[in-house]
Amino acid sequence: MFFIFIVGTAGSGKSLLTASLEKWLLGSEMSVTVVNIDPGVEDPPYTSDVDIREYVDYGEIMKEFGLGPNGALVASLDMALNHAPDIREEITDAGRDYVLIDCPGQMELFAYRNSGPLMVSSLHQTDSALSLYLLDSNIARSATGYISSLLLGVSINIRFGLPQLSVLSKSDILSPDELTKLELWSDEPYTLEEAIDESSTGLIREYAKSALVMLEQMGGGTNITPVSAKQMTGIENLYGEIQRIVAGGEDYLTYE
Amino acid sequence: MFFIFIVGTAGSGKSLLTASLEKWLLGSEMSVTVVNIDPGVEDPPYTSDVDIREYVDYGEIMKEFGLGPNGALVASLDMALNHAPDIREEITDAGRDYVLIDCPGQMELFAYRNSGPLMVSSLHQTDSALSLYLLDSNIARSATGYISSLLLGVSINIRFGLPQLSVLSKSDILSPDELTKLELWSDEPYTLEEAIDESSTGLIREYAKSALVMLEQMGGGTNITPVSAKQMTGIENLYGEIQRIVAGGEDYLTYE
């Protein structure tokens, strides 16, 4: 079993990508278990095989403890941690090739609380796993937005500690020229540096350039894989990247 | 007028710090305007002088457009942007020494959407401003949590582009020994590097150390100012740091 955790900010397209990735994997005759671990989601665009909502009732928790939406999400995740072994058991009982885990919509309540990383490790245990970190095309279309999003990705990566791929989500909102530009930034970081110079000044420019140096030092830190879940484009490429990690393990990500 | 934007993840203690900072400034005989720009807040711990809720009704928007809490927050912020000139006018009419702006609880819906940075610049215009970025002591108490939180701060800084101070929020939850340890990490980054080496392995360690190099290159990037809004400790120090920026402008932050 190979675990794929789909993470990113609220609205970055995690659930749609989960659905499209499932569809693609099934179409390529691989078996998939789809797991939803967002207690607060309503009507996800897939049918989950395993669902945290069968273990915690977000709405009930909100009422019972008189919490707002954030407080209820955090409380739900904390409580769900007690059920991690049961959730894992459902996953191992199914025993399929890939396990796609759609993570909570609010990354800051999931990555930056102890319960998020604990849930992730409790679910995959010693099975191989990676994280797909989604960049919102709307923000990544500008050079400083691109850098800022990747930095956020590194910060999240340090929380979860899994090999991580940066996925440019909803790439269909970009024009062909924009997409080409971003692919160039991904492969040739000096073009990203030029874009930062052209489009920013002062502190923003300074910090963005420092961040770029760090990303380059991390080996392929500026790389992104564009995907449009809506149009089902880029998924084959993404699968190729996933396979390199499945085959090479952590080594792949430090290879230059 | 000097604008202070208080930013950070949900639950990091922004509203409490806003209230305590107001209290301290008034106690030191400075005039303060407190502005709430979180459309979804309920019962903030201060009396706002200017409030976004007088311009947009979060609950109404949620009902009218059938949105969830996140969608309603984003829609409210987008709509509030139209009222930024009016909100600014209330602030300039008051014309006080300091303007404290309590930003929306969910940083990812505020910093990583275009409306957040737009709102920030629309409010302060050409008046001097800085951002206080709050680190959650609960996460920052571990070396990798500390690094991860600071990285998130740089990412947010690139979005808002203001001189930024990192504030260790709710420091009262730390033991005296822990607090001393974090103050050492702040002032002597090699101790933070040692702590990363001791407490992590593999990818996490590698990325955390790359991030530390970047933070050091940014000049004082590991610096944090511990504050307990609850116990009203550290606020005088924080004011000192704020003053250095007020006096020196952006130059201060690039000084080594």
A188-199 residue pLDDT tens:
999 999 999 999
Q: A70–B10: do the CB atoms touch at under 8 Å?
A: yes
User: Which region among A22-31, A189-198, A244-253, B166-175 has the lowest average model confidence (pLDDT)?
Assistant: A244-253
Cα–Cα distance between A116 and A136 in angstroms, integer? Answer: 21
Average pLDDT over residues B164-175: 96
Over residues A153-159, mean pLDDT: 95
- Tokens (6 digits) for A131: 């994280």
pLDDT of A254 higher than 50: no
Where does the pLDDT of residue B176 fall: very low under 50, low under 70, confident under 90, or very high at 90 and above? very high
Identify all chain B residues contacting A213, using CB atoms and an 8 Å cutoff: 214, 217
Q: Which amino acid is at A178?
A: E
Q: DSSP strand E in chain B: where?
A: 2-8, 32-36, 50-51, 98-102, 129-136, 164-169, 225-226
What is the tens place of the pLDDT at every residue in A73-111? 889 999 999 999 999 999 999 999 999 999 998 888 999
A214–B213 CB contact, under 8 Å: yes
Given a contact cutoff of 8 angstroms between Cβ atoms, the answer to whether B15 and B103 are in contact is no
**A158 to B9: CB separation less than 8 angstroms, yes or no:** no
Contacts of A147 in chain B (CB under 8 A): 158
The predicted model gives B14-29 an average pLDDT of 96
- Residue A148 contacts residue A139 (beta carbons within 8 Å): yes
If you count residue pairs, one on A and one on B, with CB atoms under 8 Å apart, how many are there?
142
Say if the Cβ atoms of A210 and B214 lie within 8 Å: yes
Half-sphere exposure of B70 (CA within 13 A, CB side): 22
Longest dimension (CA), chain A: 55
Quick check: B61 pLDDT over 90? yes
Predicted pLDDT at A252 = 45
Among the ranges given (A62-76, A130-144, A227-241, B82-96), the one the predictor scored with the smallest mean pLDDT = A62-76
Q: Do residue A214 and residue B218 have CB atoms under 8 angstroms apart?
A: no
ipTM, 2 dp = 0.91
Mean pLDDT throughout B25-36?
97
Indicate if the pLDDT at residue A203 is higher than 90. no
CA distance A201 to B14: 28
Find the helix or strand (DSSP H, E) in which A85 lies: helix A84-94
Nearest to B161 among A203, A211, A250 (CB): A203
Kindly determine whether residue B210 and residue A217, on different chains, have CB atoms separated by under 8 Å: yes
**Which pLDDT score, from 0 to 100, does residue A249 have?**
57
Question: Is B207 in contact with A154 (Cβ distance < 8 A)?
Answer: yes
The residue in chain A having the minimum alpha-carbon distance to the alpha carbon of residue B213 is A214
With tokens 């945290």, the residue in question is A52
Q: Which residues of B touch A204 (CB under 8 A)?
A: 158, 161
Residue B252's pLDDT is 45
State the pLDDT confidence band at B108, using cuts at 50, 70 and 90. confident
Asked if A159 and A193 touch (Cβ cutoff 8 Å), the reply is no
Residue A256 has pLDDT above 70, yes or no: no
Where residue A136 falls among pLDDT bands split at 50, 70, 90?
A: very high
* CB-CB under 8 Å, B10 with A106: yes
To which H or E segment does residue A169 belong? strand A164-169
Structure tokens at B211: 């991030």
| pLDDT over threshold 50, residue B254 | no
pLDDT at B220 over 80: no
Structure tokens at A161: 């500690």
Contacts of B106 in chain A (CB under 8 A): 10, 70, 106, 108
Q: Please, which pLDDT band fits residue A68 given cuts at 50, 70 and 90?
A: confident
Output the six-digit token pair for B103.
């930003």
pLDDT of residue B82 exceeding 80, the answer is yes
pLDDT for res B253? 46
Min Cα distance B23 → chain A (Å) is 27
Predicted local confidence at residue B256, as pLDDT: 32
A152 contacts B144? CB cut-off 8 A:
no
pLDDT for B249: 57
CB-based contact A203 B163, cutoff 8 Å: yes
Span B5-27, average pLDDT = 95
Nearest residue, CB atoms, A207 vs list B147, B157, B210: B157
Most A CBs within 10 A among B109, B126, B155, hence the mutation to make, goes to: B155
The whole-angstrom distance between A106's CA and the closest CA on chain B is 8
Across the range B90-101, mean pLDDT stands at 97
Rounded mean pLDDT, A194-210: 94
Identity (one letter) of the amino acid at A225? T
Q: Average per-residue pLDDT in chain B?
A: 92
Report percent pLDDT > 70 for chain A. 97
Tokens representing A194?
């030029």
- How large is the average pLDDT for residues A114-125? 95
